[in-house]
Structure 1
């Protein structure tokens, strides 16, 4: 983030009192962690702050301090003017928030867009953007630092969880020196490293492990392209719908350059996750289907059944490889 953007945000803080924080649909640790860290920071400034999502918080994130304060849906008592700030974290555009667009427009809030995705559409009244940041939570860390706000263990834990999520525990290529500097300071401020690693990356339900087994059994590979899928019947058999980060298992395969995970949602909707291991830009592939993200990690939703979506996605991946 540049100095001008930070100064503009400081002016927003001086001018406005009501903030509601949100993130994209099916938020991960980066979106939720960023919301929570900013919530505590704004509360310390005596602001009226709320956290809202279009859907429920994932079970695995409920241990984060403040996650229990996140509500679902747009509150009925929010002021409908520019004195209310909608601060979006880790969302590339307004539709990705999952709310009814007309309901948001009726609020007519002042919109602050904080994100690190290259696919961000630069929406809002104030854009806080840094495509080089490893995570939105890395941006949140440096924003809080530049504003000279004090850290609490709760803020540090939420922010650290987001950075660990988006860097794959510092394994991904988006990890940079500034990432480690942020992580070091957050640990010094009381981030619960052991708890975060255990609950977000190591501990899994029995159903999740059963689901992984079924999904991995669907795995296929042709040259540098590997893919697998999850059907609704798999979810029903295991009583588990947690497929987060399953696509990363495919990146463990030797000589794979593109990994694809397809999740059947319903007969005419399939969610797709893309991962790149080397130089392929999967953001460009996802954008062909109206999705986006990063060069190394992107996603999209296709209005097709699983079989049709698979054919279209594999063709696009092969085109990119060739």
Structure 2
């Protein structure tokens, strides 16, 4: 190996000696090499701010959605704790045994629901389904009780496996965080509207939106509720929305945003991640947005960093040009 390296060095020295004897060719070679070096440096310096900005935005995707996952998991954990406490309560077990007397069952559920609102400090609803997936009781002030069967993958899984399950799901015109528990005659559901996340993000100047894939919904049933078409194949059923933001994202391709990790428009910094069912099937998209006009917001901070990097790069470019002269 050393012999090969030594041989190559000798050949290069011989080449340089020949070039030096031919001064015109030597000057041309040195000039060309210098220009190539300068142009490569200029390209690197010019692309550096773009690369840095892209890396910052992509890393933001991870941090934002890690934070969101933490919020969702904490809320689901609270619902699971509530369910476990209720199912170990003798009075609640008595309430569950009243399936032949629905009014009495709903009265009992409302009593427990009132206590939960004080303890959990949020809008928690208790609902009961038969093993045929028909909802027969609810603690909601405006319950939706029909003889219709709920075609829900999560409900079916709880009945089949006889195991608890929690996650995000669509039901009766809204998206809920919910915990499902098998009970002797059916399923106990403890749920909370996902709209609370809109308020949580709004408090920090951000926008939260859940969009559902139309192909996963019964569009005939959806007609009974308020919804808005957004994107190529999505709908929004949230009661709390930022109307201006919704209009701006109405024609976006969210699959592309998910693949690219972010989108920067003239008005918003937008992140998207797929919403998955309990079987890891994509059923929608979770959107987090932030206005570019917001003072001290991430987009403005990154823009300042990018501007600083661009200025530094231009300064180095000018220095190189001066040295060349």
Q: How high is the TM-score relative to the length of structure 1?
A: 0.24
